[in-house]
Amino acid sequence: MELPSWDTSQGDLLRFCMGATSRGLPVVLLIVVSFYGSWLWSLLTSTLAQAQKIKSAKKDHRLELDDAIMRRSVRDEFFRNNKNFDYNCNSSKGDKEKGLNVTESFVKNSKGMEIFVKSWEPADFGQLHGLIFLCLGYGDSVTFYAEGLARALAVAGYGVYGMDYPGFGMSEGLHGYIPNMGNLVDDIIEQYQTIKDRAELRGLPCFVYGESMGGALALRTHLKAPTMWDGAILAAPMCKIVESMYPSPIMVQVLTKLAQVIPKAKLVSINDIMKVGFRDEVKRKHANLNPVFYVGYTRLGTGVQLLRTADYVEKRMHEVSLPMLVLHGTQDQVTDPSVSKLLCDKAKSTDKTLRLYEDAWHGILQGEPDNRIHVVMKDIISWLDARASPKAGFQQLSEEELEERVRSAVPSLINFGRLDQTMG
């Protein structure tokens, strides 16, 4: 029996979420039989051998990080044991040399959950061009390779602010579980609005950076709070699941009903996002060192939320009105570059720029060769400066000055994961 063929990650990480854990299997089978008959029983049982094979594979310690306390402990241990990991995530020395103030803290959201927030700011606030707020992709944390991106943007003159979503990274919540994407959007707005309201930051231009699933979240925050951002940078955004990869209507019904019963159950994801997202093999290995990245089966409730979010953004593309820079690799196997083109075609914004990078994969700012990352960062900084300068009151640079600024900023990003041999 042929199984549905969906692509991988984000909404696409829903790729055949019918590989249930043995703990939830009796309930799963009961629902399947009750609602959809024997052919679905056959479909489900046909995946059991594959699920068992995955279960017997070598265990990754990240599969056991359900609790935030465990994730925080593992992250601290990683940096204790890897003091020469570049851009020194837990050391202020390198940041002071770059002229940056980097801070991290835990704050309580309105639901009483501890949320991890981090900021990277130029030490000289008089040179601050604007503010950038990060919305990261599925499974990620602001405490790993987002550090390189944040530092590069901060060296370029922007204050950068990030948060770990509830259930991810260092924030409280069951690892990898998104019970309601609308509530997550509210969390993002709540945390970032608090930062925007700081007296010393008021009046500065504010931009949102959304990557992959974070692109969908960035757009949802805009649709809910249309005046919150002065612009958006969307890197390989998850805005729609293309028809060839979309599950059948009956499969959507199955997943939705199962999610009502076992929303936290971990299910099968077929492809490794690092393997299909990072073209540079060395950078792919570095990215996979992330000690708190969510790996393994996608939780059923999360998968359904990702699917619904992609549908939501697709249906409301025409309402997107903010200035936006959309970046996508032409060989992206995780999110479809044709969907980014569709977003730019449909959005009612009068200021929209699409950049397609030939042969680039999904991780255009982390997993590409250094020269490609330099080009992408130059596109980003140039676009930001053009839109921030009227409000922030700074003069745009000449082409030569811009190139020098990019050259100063990019090493914080392209040196990700490389070991500083001068340290112990």
What is the number of residues in the chain? 424
What pLDDT sits at residue 144?
Answer: 87
Block means of pLDDT (10 residues each) for the chain, 424 residues, are 34 38 43 46 46 55 92 91 61 75 95 97 89 96 90 94 98 97 97 96 96 97 98 95 75 88 79 81 85 90 92 96 98 93 97 97 92 96 95 86 90 68 40
Alpha-carbon dihedral of residues 63, 16, 57, 287, nearest 10 degrees? -60
Cβ atoms of 67 and 170 closer than 8 Å: no
**Side chain identity at residue 102, one-letter code:** V
Cα of 49 vs its chain's centroid, Å: 31
pLDDT in tens, 22-53: 344 444 444 444 445 444 444 444 444 445 44
φ and ψ of 141, to 5 deg: -140, 150
According to the 3-state scheme, what is the secondary structure of 86-125? CCCCCCCHHHHHHCEEEEEEEEECCCCCEEEEEEEEECCH
Residues with Cβ within 8 Å of residue 257, at least 6 apart in sequence: 31, 35
d(CA 171, CA 238) in angstroms, rounded, equals 23
The domain spans of the chain are: 83-414
Task: Indicate the CATH number of 83-414 among 3.40.50.2300, 3.40.50.1820, 3.40.50.300, 1.10.10.10.
Answer: 3.40.50.1820
Cβ atoms of 37 and 49 closer than 8 Å: no
pLDDT in tens, 297-308: 889 999 899 999
pTM (two decimals): 0.85
For 129, 204, 325, 391, 394, the CA distances from 126, given in Å and listed in that order, are 9, 12, 26, 14, 10
Residue-wise DSSP of 141-165: -TTTTHHHHHHHHHHTTEEEEEEPP
d(CA 340, CA 239) in angstroms, rounded, equals 7
Q: Other CB atoms closer than 10 Å to residue 186's CB: what's the count? A: 18
